[in-house]
Structure formats: structure tokens, C-alpha cells
Structure 1
Amino acid sequence: MSKQKAQGFTLLEVLIALGIVSVISILSWQGLQEVLRSAGRVTAVDEQVQTVTAVFSQLEKDLAALELTLDGPTPEGDLIEVTGNGLLIQFTQRNTSEPAYRERVEWVLDGATLLRIARRPSNPDQASISEPIATRGMQVRLLREPGGWSSPVVFGNHVVQERTDLELQGPALQLNTGTPTAQPPAGDDGENPGTPGTTTGQTLQSLVRAVEISLTQPNNQVVTRVFLTGGVY
């Protein structure tokens, strides 16, 4: 009776099998890393979209709270202007559980972060400052009527984009303020013709009808939005 030889794997076969398993493991690990990187990019983009949406939502509330009128801006009234470090908005805050109060809001680009600083005139030293929002740059333009779009004011490292000037529909506003003066009556020689009471020398003012704000995100993508200002006119 002959003995059967025990069958097994040779060293070469074992090495080949280990090589195949190693290659499969490396490919699987690289695929997993790419999936994780893609998930991280999607999460980062989603966070940026949420942040920009929140910023624009708050800006829309601030600008909608304005009650600009044809009487022209006054230091005590509602106003909006571009300052040396951002956008200044002054209005009466009514969308809170507290009684209505005056609020002075500044949107400031501090280095690579955007801040919303709110103060009450009754206590200007006590400011409410938002959480820093990562922003590389900001650009602000105002649409005045009459006058049209102002020149863009850039803050920080803003990526300049080609822009299109939007026009508001409806009749144009004519905002005249100042102390009227009466023209002198016509002389006997016929010079200086005119009617007593005719006003001249009025200062022509303009009303801010809309605001264009562009933000450059940390990934250098630019998001632009146009907001209408609040008021009855």
C-alpha cells in the first residue's frame, strides 16, 4: 500500500497570494481616503454656504429695518453709508421681544474675518459683536437715486468680478432738500425775470435705494447679492 504525499502550498504561491492581498488592500485604502476627502470637501462647502446664507439673511434684516424717507438723511434718522472699514447702518430695531430701540450696526472686515458690531446710542460703549466669520474680502456699492451706482469700495483681499449694473423699475425719485430761496422780482428794465416765490439754490440729495455686497470666501469664491433698502418713498 503506497503512501500518498501531503499536498500544500509552495513558498512561491504564498508570496503571490500575499502580494495580491497587499495590492487589493492598498487600492481599497486609497479609495477610502478619496471618499473621506470628498466628504470633507462637501462638508466644507456646505458650511460655507450656510455661513454666507446666514450673513446675507442678517444683512437683509438690517437693511429692511431702515425707514428712509424723501426728507433726506439726518444724524438722528435712519441712514446707511460706506465707512473706511465697512458698512454702517442706523435704524430702529423692532423685531425683538424688547420695546423698539435705536441701533447702530457696523459690518466690518477685520483682517480675514467679517464682524457685525451692534450698538445702542443709549449705551454706545457696550457693543454686541457677532462670531468672527471667515471672509477674505468684501466689496460694497450703493445705488442712489438720483445718481445711480456708486464706485465699488473694496475691503481686504477681494476677488474683483465683472459686474452688471441693475436698474430699478418705476419712476425715478427727485429728492430736493435744503432751504429754498426766493428769486428777486423782475426789475423795471426787464432784467432778472421771474416770479416771486420761485425756489432756487436747493441742495439736491439722493436716496439709497439698494445695496450690492460681494463676499470673497476662504476658497476665493465670490458670492454677490443685491438688497433693497427699507422705507416709504
Structure 2
Amino acid sequence: MKTTVRSERRRQSGARGFTLIELLVAIAIMAVIAVLSWRGLDQIIRGRQTITNAMEDERVFAQLFDQLRIDARHAATDDESGQAAVSISGSVLQIVREMMLPGTAPRLQVVRYRISDGRVIRYASPPLGNLDEVRAALRGGEGSDWSAVPLMGGVGAINARVYVPKVGWTTQMKDVQSAITENDNNLKVPQVGNAPLPRSVTGLQVSIGASSLARPVVRVFLVGE
């Protein structure tokens, strides 16, 4: 009987729970695992947000540059617009472009890209039927009958320069005007009415600087091609 009691006591003394130190160690390990898991999840979320923002920026840039490409491709000639069809003034880019509407004769349209409150806005005049209307649109500002389409936000600067044959890339409109004058002087009489004047501007380079960009994005467009 004594032997049985002693054996039972030995079994009870050998069965014990976790000590306080063991519990603290286990809690510490679980805390480390939780922190590492949270950091990993946070990095995944941040990476996903970065990719989403980059894709959105790419979409906005593509929309802006695609519209610029269309406007430059449909640019009118200098004699059609009565002055340089493509012109730059500070951070404003202006293009006189041809406009084809179903069932109507070809029209011209004045398009301006300018920054307003950090956003690139494309202003477009209504269709213009004659040179007087074109001149009035070129001299005036954007009236109530003009459309205004926001294309991109967060823009710090929009810079442009034009390519003038025999001159190269320039930001000086006097170079463009000199090319127009030279083309006009070189025009031969038999060509009058048969062919337009050569273009004074054949290329357009646009640089966009935005807060989300480490460096400006530059694109080059052909004019009238």
C-alpha cells in the first residue's frame, strides 16, 4: 500500500504545467512572428498600391500624348492658318489643326495646351469656316464656346520646342517666322494655287514634368504626317 502511494505521488510531481518564463518566451516568439507577418503584408499592400499608381499614371500620360499626336498630325499648313500653324509661348502650346466633320466642308480649329492649377487643359475652339474666324480665334482667349478638357494633374511644367528645317530644334518663334518668310519668298509663280507652302515646323517635342516623376517625360511628334 505504501509503495502504491509513493508511486502516485511521483507521477503527480512529474506532471507539471508551463512556467512563467516559458510562457513569456512563447509570447515573445508569437509577437515577433506577428510583426514580421504584418511587415510582409504591409510591403505587399504598398507594392500593389505603387503598381496601381504607376499604371494610372501611364494611362493618363498615354491619353495626353495620344491627343497631342493626333493634333500634331492634323496640323494645318502655315498658309491655311495665316501664320505659324504650330506655335509656343511660355508654357502654352498652340496648334491650328484641320477638322473633318461628316457632311460638311473641312474646317480649321485652334487648340491650346496650357497648365491651370497644376493640370494640363486642352482648350479647343469651335470649327472655324474662314480665315477671319481663324485670326479672331488666334488673337482672342478661350471663349465660352471653346471646349476645355482636363488631361493630366500634378503637372509642374510643360515645355515644348519645334523643329525648323535648316535650323533644328528651337524655342524661338522668330526662327519659325523666318522660315515662313523664306518659304514665301522662294515660292515660284507657277506653283501658286497648286501646292501649299512648305511647313515651317515639321517636328514637335513636348516635355512634361510632374510631381510623381523623378524626371520629365519627353515625346517627339511629326507635324502634318
Asked if these proteins are the same fold (TM beyond 0.5), I'd say yes
In structure 2, the partner of 1:15 is 24
Find the aligned partners of 2:26 and 2:172 in 1 and give their Cα distance: 67
In structure 1, the partner of 2:121 is 115
What is the correspondence of 1:17-166 to structure 2 with a 5 Å cutoff? 17-68=26-77, 72-73=78-79, 75=81, 79-94=85-100, 99=104, 100-120=106-126, 124-134=143-153, 135-151=155-171
Q: Offset at 1:211?
A: 0.5
Instruction: Tell me, yes or no, if the aligned pair for 2:63 and 2:151 is still in contact at 8 Å.
Output: no
1:219 to 212, 221, 225: 212
TM-score using structure 2 length: 0.70
Given residue 211 of structure 1, which amino acid in structure 2 is its aligned partner?
L
In structure 2, the partner of 1:229 is 223
Given residue 150 of structure 1, which amino acid in structure 2 is its aligned partner?
T
Q: Which structure has the larger Rg?
A: 2
Instruction: Tell me, yes or no, if the aligned pair for 1:80 and 1:90 is still in contact at 8 Å.
Output: yes
CA gap of 1:151–1:127, structure 2 versus 1, over 3 A, is closer
Find the aligned partners of 1:47 and 1:144 in 2 and give their Cα distance: 35
Deviations along 1:96-148, one digit per CA (max 9) or x if unpaired, are: 66745432110002242111111115595322211251211111001112432
Deviations along 1:159-185, one digit per CA (max 9) or x if unpaired, are: xxxxxxxxxxxxxx99531599xxxxx
What fraction of aligned residue pairs are identical, expressed as a percent?
A: 24
SS of equivalent residue, structure 1 residue 66: coil
Unaligned runs of 5+ in 1: 154-172, 181-204
Instruction: Tell me, yes or no, if the aligned pair for 2:110 and 2:124 is still in contact at 8 Å.
Output: yes
Greater fraction of residues in helix: 2
| Residues paired across the two proteins, number | 185
SS of equivalent residue, structure 2 residue 145: strand
Given residue 103 of structure 1, which amino acid in structure 2 is its aligned partner?
Q
SS of equivalent residue, structure 1 residue 73: helix
RMSD, aligned α-carbons: 3.2
Unaligned runs of 5+ in 2: 129-136, 138-142, 174-179, 188-197
Q: Offset at 1:212?
A: 0.6
CA gap of 1:138–1:55, structure 2 versus 1, over 3 A, is same
Extract structure 1 runs of 4+ deviating beyond 6 A.
none
What is the correspondence of 1:189-208 to structure 2 with a 5 Å cutoff? 207-208=200-201
Find the aligned partners of 1:98 and 1:41 in 2 and give their Cα distance: 47
